[in-house]
Amino acid sequence: MSVTLIFASIIIVYLLHDFVKKLLVWSKLPPGPWGVPFLGSIPFLLGGPLHKILDSMRKKYGDIYTLGLFHKQVVMLSNWELVRDFFGRMEISGRPDAEEVRKHKRDLPSSSGAKDYIDAYLTEMEQQKSRGEINPNFSELQLRVNISDLFIAGSETTSNTIRWCVLFLLCHPEIQGKLQAEVDDVVGRDRLPSLNDRDRMPYTEAFLMEVQRLARLIPLGVTHAATEDVEIDGYQFPKGTVFMASIWSCHSDPKYWPDPEKFDPGRFLNSDGTLKTKIPSFLPFALGKRQCLGESLARMELFLFVTIFMQKLTFRTTTGRPHPKAESVDSFALNPPKPFQFLIEERME
Ligand code: HEM
CATH of the domain at 176: 1.10.630.10
Output the CA 309–ligand 1 centroid distance in Å: 24
What's the one-letter identity of residue 205? E
Q: Give the C-alpha separation, 258 to 262, whole Å.
A: 9
Separate counts of helices (H) and strands (E) for the chain? 11, 8
Total length of the chain:
349
DSSP three-state, residue 117: helix
Residue 140, domain member (yes or no): no
What distance, in Å, lies between the first and last C-alpha atoms of the chain?
95
Q: Point out which residues pair with 337 in neighbouring strands.
A: 328
| Residue 106 confidence (pLDDT) | 75
| Residue 110 confidence (pLDDT) | 57
Question: 94-97 contacts: CB < 8 A, separation 24 or more?
Answer: 94/224, 94/225, 94/226, 94/227, 95/222, 95/223, 95/224, 95/225, 95/290, 96/223, 96/225, 96/242
Residue 314's domain comprises 152-219+256-346
Query: Which H helix or E strand runs over 16?
Result: helix 3-27
Q: Give the C-alpha separation, 285 to 296, whole Å.
A: 10
> CB within 8 A of 152, min separation 6: which ones?
334
Residue 103, domain member (yes or no): no
Q: Give the C-alpha separation, 182 to 16, whole Å.
A: 68
Query: Which H helix or E strand runs over 15?
Result: helix 3-27
Residues enclosing ligand 1, CB less than 6 A?
87, 149, 153-154, 157-158, 161, 217-218, 221-222, 224, 284-286, 290-294, 297-298
Q: Give the C-alpha separation, 349 to 347, whole Å.
A: 7
Output the CA 157–ligand 1 centroid distance in Å: 8
> CB within 8 A of 39, min separation 6: which ones?
70
DSSP three-state, residue 198: helix
Q: Are 259 and 206 in contact (CB under 8 A)?
A: no
Q: Are 286 and 292 in contact (CB under 8 A)?
A: yes
Parallel, antiparallel, or unpaired for β 72-77 and 242-245?
parallel
- pLDDT by residue, tens only, the chain of 349 residues: 688 899 999 999 988 888 788 888 888 999 999 888 788 888 888 888 888 899 999 999 999 999 998 888 999 999 999 999 999 999 999 887 656 677 777 777 555 567 788 888 888 888 888 898 888 878 888 888 787 777 677 888 999 999 999 999 999 999 999 999 999 999 999 999 999 999 999 999 999 999 999 999 999 999 999 999 999 999 999 999 999 999 999 999 999 999 999 999 999 999 999 999 989 999 999 999 999 989 999 999 999 999 999 999 999 998 777 778 888 887 878 899 999 999 999 998 6
Residue having the nearest C-alpha atom to atom 7 of ligand 1: 285
* ∠ CA 55-59-61, rounded to 5°: 105
| Residue 24 confidence (pLDDT) | 87
Residue having the nearest C-alpha atom to atom 12 of ligand 1: 222
Residue 227, domain member (yes or no): no
| Residue 37 confidence (pLDDT) | 79
How would you class 108 by CB atoms within 10 Å of its CB: exposed for 0-12, middle for 13-18, buried for 19 or more? middle
Residue 209, domain member (yes or no): yes
| Residue 1 confidence (pLDDT) | 64
Output the CA 295–ligand 1 centroid distance in Å: 7
- Comparing C-alpha atoms, which of 216, 224, 333 is closest to residue 284? 216
Residue 165, domain member (yes or no): yes
Output the CA 11–ligand 1 centroid distance in Å: 45
Residue 180, domain member (yes or no): yes
What's the number of domains the chain is made of? 1
| Residue 99 confidence (pLDDT) | 62
Output the CA 107–ligand 1 centroid distance in Å: 29
> Which of 161, 217, 248, 285 is the best mutation target for the ligand 1 pocket, counting ligand atoms within 8 Å of the beta carbon and taking the most?
285
Residue having the nearest C-alpha atom to atom 11 of ligand 1: 292
Q: Give the C-alpha separation, 263 to 259, whole Å.
A: 9
Residue 26, domain member (yes or no): no
Residue 200, domain member (yes or no): yes
